[in-house]
């Protein structure tokens, strides 16, 4: 069943179009990450879903019902804000039970549900504390518990982990994902951190300039990007200008036959070849490049190479480190079956 449907959703602020003609369907129970650079419209899209912004055009449907004209407070959603937006004048338990109090749930049931929820986010025994008495990670959990208090139809999170330090963030990503799997609530998270998105999402939606660039399973997007923007934004990649002619590309004066598994996403003519750094290999013959920098990262070694005036990076496991040094000339080969030819 489709839980959340967006149809032609558009939002303009004056002459600026923040979200343009977004149409997509999110099945029930999925964990969706809206990923994109800052200013790409992902937060605006989330706010449109929540009803915090009025769309200039298009519709928002939940469970097949048009919600476009339904005010925010009647949508029965849960939301976690970037600033968390916990109420400083209420206790932790009162914060968590706020959506229930608004719906007229009696005090005893509220108390019981708040305790349940705080247990769920592994924060027992803090119900009577004030928000300012909690650490950043604890506040995060309270905000999540509060967002889940009414078993929301859709759970929305706007950059929820951005205020946490790196270690805690990675930990919370895993925890949030596990929690969502257990509850099965349809969840949409906005993030600009691709690692975070890859960690949590079943479905990744990459946005740029107000438009959806690609939507799909994270690894599908990684292996099979629809365009150069997605290829560059999900993981890192080398984007090398080339000319496409049938099943072969020509770059830096060298013709490379495409193999089975290599994907072509554009018509013949000018194109870019996307090759992940881990798919760049040193070979006996082929493209000639020069080593300009070597970066030892511990878990891997990264070579920066100059290929006909263009920067290419290659990644090796430490044990497979080739015996070449700075300034050396090497021949490059790109792993067959892992190459993607995209529109420039």
Residues binding other proteins (CB under 8 A): 47, 50-54, 71-79, 81-85, 87-89, 98-99, 101-103, 146, 149-150, 156
Nearest approach, Cβ of 122 to other proteins (angstroms)? 22
- Which strand ranges, in their side-by-side order, compose the sheet holding 154-158? 78-80, 154-158, 186-191, 31-35, 203-208, 211-216
User: Cβ closer to other proteins: 52 or 134?
Assistant: 52
Nearest approach, Cβ of 232 to other proteins (angstroms)? 31
- Which strand ranges, in their side-by-side order, compose the sheet holding 287-296? 280-283, 329-334, 287-296, 301-307, 310-316
Nearest approach, Cβ of 28 to other proteins (angstroms)? 20
Nearest approach, Cβ of 190 to other proteins (angstroms)? 14
| Angle CA 77–83–86, to nearest 5 | 65
User: Cβ closer to other proteins: 18 or 32?
Assistant: 18
Burial letters 191-206, b for 16+ CB under 10 A, else e:
bbebebbbbbbbbbbb
User: Cβ closer to other proteins: 101 or 288?
Assistant: 101
Can you tell me whether residue 90 is helix, strand or coil? coil
Can you tell me whether residue 254 is helix, strand or coil? strand
Nearest approach, Cβ of 53 to other proteins (angstroms)? 6
Angle between helices 136-147 and 166-183 (to 10 degrees): 20
User: Cβ closer to other proteins: 65 or 72?
Assistant: 72
User: Cβ closer to other proteins: 49 or 205?
Assistant: 49
Short-list 181, 184, 180, 144, CA closest to 160: 144
User: Cβ closer to other proteins: 87 or 293?
Assistant: 87
Nearest approach, Cβ of 101 to other proteins (angstroms)? 8
């Amino acid at each position: 069943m489709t839980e959340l449907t967006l149809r032609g959703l558009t939002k303009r602020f004056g002459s600026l179009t923040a979200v343009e003609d977004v149409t997509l369907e999110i099945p029930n129970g999925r964990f969706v990450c809206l990923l994109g650079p800052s200013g790409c419209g992902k937060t605006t899209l989330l706010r449109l879903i929540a009803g915090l912004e009025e769309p200039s055009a298009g519709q928002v449907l939940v469970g097949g019902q048009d919600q476009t004209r339904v005010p925010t407070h009647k949508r029965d959603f849960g939301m976690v804000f970037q600033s968390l937006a916990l109420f400083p004048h209420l206790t932790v338990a009162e914060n968590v039970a706020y959506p229930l109090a608004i719906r007229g749930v009696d005090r005893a049931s509220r108390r019981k549900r708040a305790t349940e929820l705080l247990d769920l986010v592994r924060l027992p025994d803090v119900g009577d504390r004030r928000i300012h008495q909690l650490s950043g990670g604890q506040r995060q959990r309270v905000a999540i518990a509060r967002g889940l208090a009414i078993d929301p139809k859709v759970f929305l999170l706007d950059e929820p982990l951005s205020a946490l330090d790196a270690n805690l963030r990675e930990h919370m990503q895993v925890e949030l994902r596990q929690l969502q799997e257990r509850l099965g609530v349809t969840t949409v998270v906005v993030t600009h951190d691709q690692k975070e998105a890859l960690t949590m999402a079943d479905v990744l939606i990459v946005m740029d300039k107000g438009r959806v660039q690609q939507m799909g399973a994270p690894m599908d997007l990684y292996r099979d990007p629809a365009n150069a923007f997605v290829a560059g934004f999900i993981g890192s990649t080398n984007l090398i200008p080339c000319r496409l002619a049938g099943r072969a590309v020509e770059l830096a004066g060298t013709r490379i036959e495409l193999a089975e598994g290599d994907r072509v996403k554009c018509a013949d003519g000018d194109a870019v070849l996307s090759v992940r750094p881990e798919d760049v290999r040193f070979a006996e013959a082929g493209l000639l490049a020069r080593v300009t920098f070597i970066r030892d990262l511990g878990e891997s070694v990264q070579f920066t190479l100059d290929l006909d005036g263009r920067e290419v990076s290659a990644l090796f496991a430490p044990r497979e480190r080739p015996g070449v040094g700075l300034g050396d000339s090497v021949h490059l080969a790109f792993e067959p079956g892992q190459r993607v030819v995209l529109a420039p």
